[in-house]
Chains A and B, each alone.
Chain A
Amino acid sequence: MSSVRCLLVSIVLSTGCVSVVDKSTATSVAPVVMASPDVGLGCASGEATSAVLSTIGKPAKGKTPHQAQVLTLMSAGMCVEPLAWDAELNRGVALRNGEGARVADLLEVERRYHATAALRYYAAWEHLTAAWSPAPGEGCPKLKSSKNEDLLYVLGLSSGVLAVLHDQAAGGEVGVPLDVPRAVARAAACLDNDQWWGVPRALQAAVWATIPGAAPDGEDPLAILADSAAKGDAAHLRLARAFQVQTLATLGEDDALQEAIAAHAAALATPAHPRFRMLDRYAHLLIRHESDKIWVAEAGHRTPGDHYGRFPGTAEDLDQNDDLLDALLGPAEPAPEPTEDPE
Chain B
Amino acid sequence: MRLLSAVVATATLALATPALAGDKTLCVYDPSGASGPVFQHAEKYQAAAAQWGVSFDLRPFTDEGVAAADFRNGKCDAALITGVRMQQFNKATFSLEAVGLVPSYDVLKSSITTLASSKAARLMTNGTYEVAGIFPSGAVYLYVSDKSMQGAKDLAGKKMCTMSFDKAANTMVNVVGAQAVAADISSFASKFNNGSCDIAYAPATAYTPLELHKGLGATGAVVRYPIAQMTLQLVIRGDYPGGFGQKSREWSASQFDALMPTLKKAEAEVPAKHWVDVPADQKGGYDAMLSDARGRMVQDGVYDATIVKLVEQLANR
Contacts and interface: CB of A to CB of B under 8 A. Distances in A.
A101 interface: yes
Interface stretch (A19-27, A52-60, A144-152, A247-255): A247-255
A165 interface: yes
Interface string A171-186: 1100101110110000
Contacts of A211: 31-32, 209-210
Interface of A: 91, 94-101, 103-104, 107, 165, 168-169, 171-172, 175, 177-179, 181-182, 210-213, 249-252, 297
Interface of B: 17-20, 31-37, 40, 43-44, 46-48, 50-53, 55, 57, 59-62, 185-190, 208-211, 262, 265, 269
B70 to A, nearest CB: 11
Contacts of A165: 35
Contacts of B61: 252
**Which secondary structure dominates where chain B touches chain A?**
mixed
Contacts of B189: 212-213
13 contacts: A98-B19, A104-B48, A107-B44, A168-B35, A168-B37, A178-B208, A179-B209, A210-B32, A250-B33, A251-B62, A252-B59, A252-B60, A252-B61
B186 A213 contact: yes
Given A169-B35, A182-B209, 15 more contacts: A99-B50, A100-B50, A101-B51, A168-B35, A168-B37, A181-B209, A182-B211, A210-B33, A210-B35, A212-B189, A212-B210, A213-B189, A213-B210, A250-B35, A251-B33
B37 A100 contact: no
Given A168-B37, A175-B265, A212 B59 contact: no
Contacts of A252: 33-34, 59-62
Given A100-B52, A104-B48, A182-B211, A172 B33 contact: no
A169 B32 CA distance: 12
A223 B43 CA distance: 29
- Interface centre among B35, B44, B61, by most chain A C-beta atoms within 10 angstroms, is B35
A110 B140 CA distance: 32
A251 B17 CA distance: 34
B262 A98 contact: no
Given A98-B20, A213-B190, A179 B47 contact: no
Contacts of A212: 31, 62, 185-186, 189, 210
Nearest to B15: A100
A217 B44 CA distance: 36
A177 B210 CA distance: 12
A42 B46 CA distance: 35
A104 B50 contact: yes
A95 B36 contact: no
Contact of B34 (A94, A175, A178, A250): A250
Contacts of B55: 95-96, 98
Contacts of B44: 107
B265 A172 contact: yes
Given A95-B55, A168-B40, A100 B47 contact: yes
A103 B47 CA distance: 5
B18 A98 contact: yes
A213 B35 contact: no
Nearest to B183: A213
Contact of B50 (A103, A168, A171, A210): A103
Contacts of A169: 35, 40
Contacts of A96: 55
A123 to B, nearest CB: 20
Nearest to A88: B43
A251 B28 CA distance: 11
A75 B299 CA distance: 61
A206 to B, nearest CB: 10
Contacts of A182: 209, 211
Given A104-B48, A107-B47, A251-B60, A179 B211 contact: yes
A212 B191 CA distance: 12
A104 B208 CA distance: 31
